[in-house]
Amino acid sequence: MNSAQTQTPIARLPMLIGGFACACLMGAAVGFFTTGFLGQTEGAHANASQSATFGVLPVALASLLSLLILSPAGMRTRARLGVGVLVSSGARLIFALGLGVVMYMVMKPDPTGFFASLLTAGLLALVAESMWAIHALRSGATSGAGSA
């Protein structure tokens, strides 16, 4: 393996952006239906979309932070992708949970839908990012400097 291959980005961001978008949409759907079926507060059924939106918003903003961390081409090389994904995932987790707690305290949405959407979207974002990185590392290892 020469130095040109180790400096070439092996992963592209559009797949990751799509994965984060799908994670947020699926998290919102889970929060919406959970609030509708199991809502704990009075009027929760009417506020199902509000609770789901408030739950997904911290994950969406934290996903932008993850993309900002992984956007430099140097972070997506074979040598740095693993560390980049660890840093990105940790930053997204801390930011999303911190912002989620603040939003929950300030906005006071229905807790069932809020936390269902927050945790589902966060978990699915982690799965999407892990699958993206594994795919990139595997295809980069088999094709030299391929892209994922």
For residue 119, tell me if it sits in a domain.
yes
Report d(CA 79, CA 137) in Å as an integer: 10
Q: How far is CA 144 from CA 1, 71, 90, in A?
A: 8, 21, 28
What is the chain's mean pLDDT, rounded? Answer: 86
The whole domain housing 115 covers: 11-142
Residue 83 lies in a domain: yes
Is 71 part of a structural domain of the chain? yes
CB atoms under 10 Å from CB of 38, counted, come to 12
In a domain, 5, yes or no: no
| Per-residue pLDDT band at 146 (split at 50, 70, 90) | very low
At 31-66, the pLDDT tens digits run 888 887 776 656 556 677 888 899 999 999 999 999
For the whole model, what pTM was predicted?
Answer: 0.85
* Residue 47 domain-assigned (yes or no): yes
Q: What CA–CA distance (Å, rounded) separates 42 from 100?
A: 22
Q: Give residue-wise pLDDT tens across range 109-139.
A: 888 889 999 999 999 999 999 999 999 888 8
* Residue pair 79/97 in contact by the 8 Å Cβ criterion: no
- How far from each other are the two terminal CA atoms of the chain, in whole angstroms? 19
Give the number of domains in the chain: 1
